[in-house]
Every structure is written in structure tokens, then in C-alpha cells.
Amino acid sequence: MKQILRGGTVVTGSGSFRADVLIDGEKVAAVGSTEEIARLAEQDTQVADVAGCLLFPGFIDAHTHFDLHVAGTVTADDFATGTKAAVRGGTTTIVDFGTQYAGESLADGLRNWHEKADGKCSCDYSFHMSISDWNPSVSRELDDMMEEGITSFKLYMTYDTQVDDRTIFEILRRLKEVGGITGVHCENSGMIAALQAEAKAEGRMGVESHPATRPAAAEAEAIDRLLRLAEVVDIPVIVVHLTCKEGYDVIMEARRRGQKVYAETCPHYLLMDDSLYSLPGFEGAKYVCAPPLRKKEDSQCLWKALADGTIQTVSTDHCSFTTEQKKLGMDDFTKIPGGMPGVETRGTLLYTYGVDAGRITREKMCELLSENPAKLYGMYPLKGAIAPGSDADIVVMRTGVDDVVTAGGQAQNVDYAPFEGSKLTARIESVYLRGTQVVKDHQVVVEKTGKFVKRGKYDL
């Protein structure tokens, strides 16, 4: 069946232009003038009027944690609610983190994540494999992962899943051989453990101790160490959820040495700061995430880096817990489950506070949310483009609206919205997932048609 989206403005990383889009089945068939596209129509071709709207390639969120068992609980969003919220926010592909726990093979971890996701997703999906138990057999498995389209990995320098420097070095060596890439959570775990122990010994058990025990220096030091390891191996790496100027400076220094380094940040690091941890009562727990929120100057640095292209992607690190779950850390800040919901509001927040506020162009937004993640995670131009042959994953965004973020009515399974009360000047009016309209009038109308995406090698 053919469909036409008529009257919109197609946004790409290199420019925006008025064009109609012809969809044939799951694919974009043609992009052109109304006359050109009308000539390709057939008798039963449906026409959707998208006049006045921006058409973005479906957004890609390469950093979600759905159905993750952590901190003595499980994330509030599983793959059903999480991907429903994602697609409502214009995200047509997510890349979640399959985790290899101690004693497991990578194949075990991947199988577990397929079981969590398959048949439940309302957008397309893939996994990075998080490696936590490195040994010769796991090393051999990297070839199998690449074969299966799992071409990106994740390493933690903190948490129970952390790997030490030698392991990081050995993994980077193997990734260079197989052509894979890894994202790394950079925080110095030793420094954090010592600061947490000090805070506890002094009875400082409240939320304010969370940012105090995870300083920017802990992040910057870990980034530096990672990049020195990558320098010797001579392989690009991805610094995920970059929060601060100190870390950014370290990345820029490595680039000056000639290294290829990719960086990702998240809406909460762009739009929130650490004053939220001083909110009365236990309110600040809603914003506990790792690394923590930083200072306004750090956010300014991150916005500038988005504008000049020195940060390549904006993902969400969606890792949601209800206010009830956050209470697990009521008497001990180290027990507050870390993470925030974000998949539902990333696109409209970035448009409102990025494009409309004059910080980035809409073309840059297209790069950050669609093109660059598609290239970095081996999906371009199947994903990340509105061009003949690409999957017809299309976000129809209405701008110039006067909306407000509220927890009521959100699709994600959380009783609060971190950006509650924030004004939004853009709305996700409809979304097409491989040619099927899955969001209509900002409501999800078709669920659970998401498919696993077999990815190729990074190419950005």
C-alpha cells in the first residue's frame, strides 16, 4: 500500500526543504514536489495532510534501560511501557543495554534481553552488550555478537558491573580486531567509594550527598584514563552521558592528540542542575542519577558543544523508578535507585529549549537525534534518513504550540515527570514506524509492532 505525507518540511542534517513523501509498504519510495509525488500515486494511495509540520527521520535513542534489575528493584518501565513512551515521543528505534552478569556468556545475556523485549516493543529495537565478566571464551564470542548485528558494547568503570583498566584495554584490543565500538560509563569508582564511606561515617545520609560523592573530577579522571587506554590501542570510543566541562575538556585534549572520540549527553544534563538535590523533603531523589546533575556552567558548555558538533548524540539514559521505589534510599542516599525517565520528552524538549531557544538549528537536532546515532550504531541509511530505500520511520512534529509537560497521561510507567511544568513549543503529532502510523494525534494507536534491528559497523 502506498501513502503520501503531503505538505510538510523534511528536515535533514544538511538542510530542510518543503517536500511530499511517498511511502510504499515499509519504505520511503520517493521525496519530491507535490506534483512529482502525485505522479507516482496509485488509485488507493492514501494522503495524509501534514502541512505546516516538520518531518524528522524517526528519532533513535541509543541509551535506554528497560526491565533492568538494579539497586534491589526493577525499573518501572519494561520494554512494553518504555517503547510505548518512546514512540509517543518520536523515537522509532531504541538501543537498550543487554547485560552479561558474572558467570554468564554474552550469548546468555543477549538471550535474556531478547526474552525481555521480543514481542513487547512498540518501536524498533536493538541492544548494546554490556561486558562485565571478561575471559578468553567471552573474547571469542565478540565475533558471534558482530555476526548477530550486536556491533556496539558497553563498559562500566563503576557499579557492580565495572571492569578494571587491564580488562578495558584487552576489550578495546579485541574490538579493534572485530570492528566493534564501545560506549563507556566513566566515573572513578574508588574515589566515589571513599567519598561515600566518609559521608556515611559523618552521618550525611541525605540526597545532597549524592552529587557531593560523585564529583565532576571523578568523571573527568575516568574519561582521561579511558582515552589514554584507547590511545594506545588506537580505537575510537564513545563517552556516554557526558555531564561536565571538565570531562569535555579531557575529550577535546584527546582529539587534539589526534584521537577519535564520540560523546553523548542527555536532556537532563542540558536542562537541569544540581540545585535540585537540595529540594525539601525527599523531592531531590527524583533527580538522582549517575553521573549526577552538575552546574549551570556545565550545561552551557554542553549546549555549545552540541551546536559546534563536538558532542554527536543526545540520548536519554531512560532508567525510571517511581517515587515509591526511590524511597528505598530514604535513610541512605547510596540506596536511592539511580535514573530518570526521559524517552517521552526528549524530542520536544530539544526542539523547545534547543531549536526554538536559538541554541541549535533544527538540522543539528536531526543530526543529534537521528542521523548521528544511526551512523554511530550501524543503522544508516536504513534508519536516520527520509530518503528512497530507508525505513519509513517518520516523526511529524507540530511546532508553535503551547504545551506543558505533565505526569498525567504520560505513557511511561512513572508517577512523576522530571520536567513537570516545563513549557513545550513542539508536539509529536504523528509517528510512522516502517510505514505504519503508530501515533496519531499524539496518542499511540498501534502497539507492539517493533522489530529487532540487526546492525552493521559504526560509520560516523
The separation between CA 245 and the C-alpha centre of its own chain, rounded to angstroms, equals 20
Please identify which residue in the block is written with the cell numbers 546492525.
455
Q: Please, which of residues 216-275 interact with ligand DUC by CB under 6 A?
A: none
Q: Please, which of residues 62-81 interact with ligand DUC by CB under 6 A?
A: 65
Position among 317, 344, 371, 429 found at the interface with Zn ion (CB under 5 A):
317
- Residue 2 or 241: the one with the smaller Cβ distance to ligand DUC is 241
Cβ of residue 292: shortest distance to ligand DUC, in angstroms? Answer: 8
Backbone angles phi, psi at 14, to 5 degrees: -110, -5
Please tell me whether residue 341 binds ligand DUC under the rule CB under 6 A.
Answer: no
Please tell me whether residue 185 binds ligand DUC under the rule CB under 6 A.
Answer: yes
Please tell me whether residue 339 binds ligand DUC under the rule CB under 6 A.
Answer: yes
Are the C-beta atoms of residues 10 and 16 closer than 8 Å to each other? Answer: yes
Are the C-beta atoms of residues 254 and 247 closer than 8 Å to each other? Answer: no
Position among 338, 354, 378, 384 found at the interface with ligand DUC (CB under 6 A):
338
Position among 220, 227, 230, 319 found at the interface with ligand DUC (CB under 6 A):
319
Kind and range of the H or E element at 136? helix 136-147
The span from the CA of 309 to the CA of 187, in Å, is 24
- Residue 289 or 349: the one with the smaller Cβ distance to ligand DUC is 289
Are the C-beta atoms of residues 98 and 113 closer than 8 Å to each other? Answer: yes
Residue 290 contact, options Zn ion, ligand DUC, none, Cβ 5-8 Å cut-off depending on partner type: ligand DUC
Alpha-carbon Rg for the chain in angstroms: 21
Please tell me whether residue 289 binds ligand DUC under the rule CB under 6 A.
Answer: yes
- Residue 284 or 291: the one with the smaller Cβ distance to Zn ion is 291
Q: Which of 126, 20, 23 is nearest to 374 (CA)?
A: 126
Bond from prior residue into 136 cis (ω within 30 degrees of 0): no
Residue 450 contact, options ligand DUC, Zn ion, none, Cβ 5-8 Å cut-off depending on partner type: none
Residue 289 contact, options ligand DUC, Zn ion, none, Cβ 5-8 Å cut-off depending on partner type: ligand DUC
- Residue 154 or 398: the one with the smaller Cβ distance to ligand DUC is 154
Please tell me whether residue 290 binds ligand DUC under the rule CB under 6 A.
Answer: yes
Instruction: Please count the other Cβ atoms lying within 10 Å of the Cβ belonging to residue 72.
Output: 10
Kind and range of the H or E element at 17? strand 16-18
- Residue 188 or 315: the one with the smaller Cβ distance to Zn ion is 315
The span from the CA of 27 to the CA of 33, in Å, is 18
Please tell me whether residue 77 binds Zn ion under the rule CB under 5 A.
Answer: no
Cβ of residue 163: shortest distance to Zn ion, in angstroms? Answer: 15
Please tell me whether residue 96 binds Zn ion under the rule CB under 5 A.
Answer: no
Name the pairing type of β-strands 69-70 and 73-74. Answer: antiparallel
3-state secondary structure of 49: strand
3-state secondary structure of 345: coil
Cβ of residue 338: shortest distance to ligand DUC, in angstroms? Answer: 4
- Residue 124 or 317: the one with the smaller Cβ distance to Zn ion is 317
E-strand stretches of 289-388:
313-314
Q: Which residues of this protein are in contact with Zn ion, per CB under 5 A?
A: 317
Q: Which residues of this protein are in contact with ligand DUC, per CB under 6 A?
A: 65, 185, 289-290, 317, 319, 338-339
